[in-house]
Structure 1
Amino acid sequence: MTLLSVNVNKIAVLRNSRGGSEPDVVRAARTCLYAGAHGITVHPRPDQRHIRTDDVLALSVLTRESGVEFNLEGNPFAPPRDGYPGFLALCDQVRPAQATLVPDGDGQITSDHGFDFSRDAERLRPLVGELRAMGCRVSLFVDAGCEGLDQAAAIGADRIEIYTGPFAEALARGNADAELARCAATAGQARSLGLGVNAGHDLSQANLEEFLEAVPGVLEVSIGHALIGEALYAGLQRTVQNYLAILDQAAAARPSGRTG
Structure 2
Amino acid sequence: MSAIRALRQLTATSARTFAARQTIGATRTLAARVSVSTPTSARAFSVSTRRFGEGNSDVILSQKLAEELQYEKEALADADVVPDFLKTFQSQGVWSIEDVPGNDEVTLSRKFGNETIRLTFSIADIQAEEEDFENETENDDGEEALNVYPIRASLSLTKTTGPGALNVDMICQEGHFIVENISFYNDAKLGTDLTAEADWKRRGLYIGPQFDTLDVAVQEEFEKYLQERGVNETVALFIPEYAEWKEQQEYVKWLGKVKSFIDA
Whether these two folds match at TM > 0.5 is no
TM range (shorter): under 0.3
TM-score (ref. length: structure 2):
0.21
Q: TM-score, normalised by structure 1?
A: 0.21
